[in-house]
Structure 1
């Protein structure tokens, strides 16, 4: 029981300061010039405010089949959603009709979009979502990127054609893509929570860590190279594999790709500034 409360405390401490600020929803419609010559584009944004999932429940965002997801943590107690709905058709009227027929629902902590006739042609919905900084997430896409920032919890991230971007996350994080890169930027003194495991098949991995950090990291590629610039002597760097203990070690963080290279970096440690002697 003491260990359980200790882990909760670590997760609470792992919520970055950036999550304490109230970010703005920035998703907007593209400029009219984005319309293709043979198609007309119609676009609109829809804003929703939802209750946060109850403790122990997961917020699911289903962007299949066309659309990406960006989720950021904030210090509020509700979930704020901006959905960017687009339609492309031969005429402007048809494009507007496509968008008008899209329904966005949020039931049982699941956010998704659909059309009455279930056709997937010609329309897409992209989501930008603010969640309480400690929220369990299940993010699903097929043709779109997934980005999670400043969130701690049980995170499950899956897309097929699109990158995964993880910025200042912690907790129990598992994610995968098939055709897309992996970008990881971590902060704080150590990973707080059970660990991280993310993978891609066709994509490179760019992993940035703080100069001082505690964790056990593993990286593997099949058809690519691994490069590492780390502030530790406890490491094994081979052409296709990396294993290293940073600081005092800790949670296991794993990344992998099949067709792609992996870059893992820490900035050089800076010596503390010594005060001038008092005369």
Structure 2
């Protein structure tokens, strides 16, 4: 399925299925570190920058590039624009030098690309973390190296990649692919079923915690090489082995995969609520 067809599918099916949190504008919460984050050898300077970008057109992708130092949090909301809070930090021997380094960092929002850099291309001593609000149906390409990635209440073609950081996915749908090398995976799905072509996420050195609603329809596949799998699922159609899990939830559906090499996997659904039985009158 190409990006245009996927976008139309998600737009038609998902807006009503997304939780209420996606229908309201979440508050931007990134703040500067406490003053005591400075040390005797290194002083810390910080600056908050609030920016606005046009939302990508249908079929286009918003790229957030936080390499080499910085994390990314993206949340869906009901607005038609992209709101960005960039937290720029820098460390240097003196506070004046740290402030000068912060001032030299430029954050660009051109051509559906959010990224930062210095005029001399140096990566030393500074970092930018991003908190981004996007329309609830948006294609995303999120990149980090030394930072974590969190995404919630968004549907579309989603690509996430970091090296030293965790991945957290909450209330997402669409065609979702993500990977990290040194970090955990936290998956929290909502709704009654997956909407879109599927999920495929992996880590090398990290555990996986996967939470699903008590009633859900999908095909679940999980694998670990040097860890164990624990599964509490509301289905009899499952195969749970020490290193592999395969399960059909509800009527089945999209294939959802999660893999790790050095880590354990926990997959859990809350127990089904008991069905109330009417009591006949005498």
TM-score grouping bracket, smaller chain normalisation: over 0.9
Say which of 146, 149, 168 aligns to 1:165.
Answer: 168
Say which of 239, 247, 250 aligns to 2:250.
Answer: 247
Q: Distance in 1 between matches of 2:109 and 2:7?
A: 31
Deviation of 1:196 after TM superposition, in Å, equals 0.2
Deviation of 1:29 after TM superposition, in Å, equals 0.2
For structure 2, list consecutive stretches of 5 or more residues without a partner in the other structure. Answer: none
Instruction: Please show how residues 75-154 of structure 1 align to structure 2 within 5 Å.
Output: 75-154=78-157
Instruction: Please show how residues 1-279 of structure 1 align to structure 2 within 5 Å.
Output: 8-273=11-276
Does structure 1 conserve the Cα–Cα contact (< 8 Å) formed by 2:7 and 2:59? no
Does structure 1 conserve the Cα–Cα contact (< 8 Å) formed by 2:185 and 2:207? yes
- Listed one character per residue, the Cα deviations across residues 227-248 of structure 1 (whole Å, up to 9, x for unaligned) are 1000000000000000000000
Does structure 2 conserve the Cα–Cα contact (< 8 Å) formed by 1:218 and 1:255? yes
Deviation of 1:274 after TM superposition, in Å, equals 5.0
Length-normalised TM-score, structure 2: 0.95
SS at match of 1:200: strand
Does structure 1 conserve the Cα–Cα contact (< 8 Å) formed by 2:6 and 2:174? no
Cα separation, partners in 2 of 1:4 and 1:142, compared to 1, 3 Å: closer
Q: Distance in 1 between matches of 2:6 and 2:43?
A: 58
Deviation of 1:253 after TM superposition, in Å, equals 0.1
Deviation of 1:278 after TM superposition, in Å, equals 7.6
- Listed one character per residue, the Cα deviations across residues 122-160 of structure 1 (whole Å, up to 9, x for unaligned) are 000000000000000000000000000000111000000
Does structure 2 conserve the Cα–Cα contact (< 8 Å) formed by 1:14 and 1:170? no
Computed over aligned residues only, the root mean square deviation of the Cα atoms, in angstroms, reads 1.8
Deviation of 1:5 after TM superposition, in Å, equals 6.4
Does structure 2 conserve the Cα–Cα contact (< 8 Å) formed by 1:197 and 1:254? yes
Does structure 2 conserve the Cα–Cα contact (< 8 Å) formed by 1:10 and 1:193? no
SS at match of 1:212: coil
Cα separation, partners in 2 of 1:14 and 1:25, compared to 1, 3 Å: same
Cα separation, partners in 2 of 1:95 and 1:10, compared to 1, 3 Å: same
Deviation of 1:94 after TM superposition, in Å, equals 0.6
Length-normalised TM-score, structure 1: 0.96
